[in-house]
Every structure is written in structure tokens, then in C-alpha cells.
Amino acid sequence: MSFIFFLFLVFIVITFVLPSVLVFFLFLTKKNSISFMMNSILSKFLNEFNSSKDYTRNYTGDNMSKDEALKILGLNPEASQNEINKAYQNLMKLVHPDKGGSEYFAQKLNAARDRLLKN
């Protein structure tokens, strides 16, 4: 019985304790490179976050031409209000941020729809 318990303890030490100790010592020896890596990741995230504000400030489509709006929605110049809304809805289903899409593309679609419905 005690031999089985001893084997169980050896198994636990080899499986859980030893790898944890190795990872801890690896962390201590590579602390500077891990810190550098984390700073690099944080820096990339902050750069991406700050650059995303450029297109979230104004999505109303004031600067978008009618031709650009038509190209974004894939419509011809004679498209009706109903066709514009239908194209917008179909494309928004694909690019909506809540569905895993891009906020940038969703705002471009909003701007294109707004631009075409404004006239």
C-alpha cells in the first residue's frame, strides 16, 4: 500500500510540480525578454486602438462621394431607396462587429448608406 502511495506521489511531482518549477525558473531567467515582449504587445495594441479612433470620429459620410458609396454597396447609380437599404442590410450581416466583423467596414457601410439616402 505504501509503495503505491509512493508511486502516486512521484507521479504527481513529475507531472505537476517539476514543470511548474521549471517554468518559474525560466521566467526568472527570461524576465527581461518577457517584459520586452509584453511591452511590445501592449504597444501594438495601443497603436491599433489609437489609429482606430481616426475612423470612429466621423462616419456620417460627409467626405464620401456618391460614386464611392455606390461602389461600397455594390449598386448602380439608378438604385432606389429600397435597393440601397436591402444592399446595406445584406452587407451589414457580413461585417457587423457583433458578428465578428470589422467596425471600420460597418462604419463605411453606414456612411455609404447615409450618403446615398441623403440625396
6-23 residue pLDDT tens: 888 888 877 877 777 777
The verdict on 29 and 6 lying in the same domain is yes
53-68 residue pLDDT tens: 554 444 445 578 888 8
The verdict on 112 and 67 lying in the same domain is yes
Confidence check: pLDDT of 31 > 60: no
pTM exceeds 0.75 for this model: no
Confidence check: pLDDT of 92 > 80: yes
Q: What is the CA radius of gyration of the chain?
A: 28
Higher local confidence (pLDDT), 88 or 3: 88
Given 33, 57, 81, the domain boundary residue is 57
The verdict on 32 and 70 lying in the same domain is no
Which residue segment(s) compose the domain that 16 sits in? 1-57
For residue 87, the domain's CATH number is: 1.10.287.110
Q: What is the rounded average pLDDT of the residues 37-42?
A: 56
Given 57, 75, 105, the domain boundary residue is 57
